[in-house]
Amino acid sequence: MLISLESIREAAARIAPRLHRTPMLSSRTLGDAAGVALQLKCESFQKTGSFKPRGALNIILSLTPERRAKGLVSVSAGNHAGAVAWAAREAGVPCTVVMPSDAPRSKMDAVRGYGATIIAHEDRATLFDRLREEEARSGAFFVHPFDDLTGLAGAGTTGLEILEQAPQTDVVVVAIGGGGLMAGVACAIKALRPQCKVVGVELEAGPGMTPALAAGKSVPVPRPRTLADGLTPPFVGAHPLQVARECVDEIVLVTEDEIMHAMRMLLLRAKLYVEGSGAAATAALLAGKVKSVAPGSRVVSIVSGGNVDPERLLALFSTSGGAA
């Protein structure tokens, strides 16, 4: 496979001393609603509130001390920014992150809180162009949010933990933004339990992987206004695209309303504070979108992050049901 089981296990050994082994929680209510035996892999409880430090820390710790000393630079609308900023602080190196000016306030506050410098950029479509300018100017190492094999191996440690905690899992459902989490998890799952199905979930209003698979290459992704900002990168990664082609059994699309319903249900029934992209996998199950799930299957839904501004979450429970 593109990401070897050995590299994922090496990543696990490298990052384990600094990261949480996140819990797997069952939810009878949500499982019954989806017609499956459901468990939730709670990456919302990871350091910085998402799965992202797994990949970012693995990349940074794999660099030579000399390379790290030149500093780090990255680009992100949120969770990856916080993860790189946190990991840079752990490694004791400077960090700059290019973020869209309209990124969620809580995520920008977290990046600053970890000691990183933010370059706010107005045009989301040219975020990577601004990143490349800063990379060239500073000579810092670019920590890619979703298309670095070392980072994907780090993300794959989520898959290792899933099969250690629930070895008889039949289906793993995972959200797809740039594709990093999906790629790492799919390679880990298929290496250890080939019969386990891997299902990817994208935002219906702005999918990236589905059109990329049709085109045979990454294509520009529409940027709708959404609570699931983690599902709207400018494109999917070339490496995740290859993994999706080889290892993913099904990709489904969810609507904004379905994501909001899943966020409500996760909060009310599972007592989990979850962001839009973190609820996407569960949304697909609750909406009956996943066709490869047989009734009663043992299913793991990855809750990939919990970084949502409180006022945006509270808006879900207003009479208007607004999404912010």
State the helix-helix crossing angle for 53-62 and 149-165, rounded to 10 degrees. 130
Contact 24/165 with Cβ under 8 angstroms? yes
Catalytic residue annotation: 52, 304
Cα 188 from chain centre = 16
Helix axes 180-192, 5-15, angle to 10 degrees: 110
Helix, strand or coil for residue 41? Answer: strand
C-alpha closest to that of 124 among 140, 103, 144: 103
Q: How far is CA 101 from the centre of its chain?
A: 21
Token pair recorded at residue 140: 């810092």
* CA dist., res. 302 & res. 162, Å (int): 9
35: left (phi over 0), alpha (psi -120 to 50) or beta: left
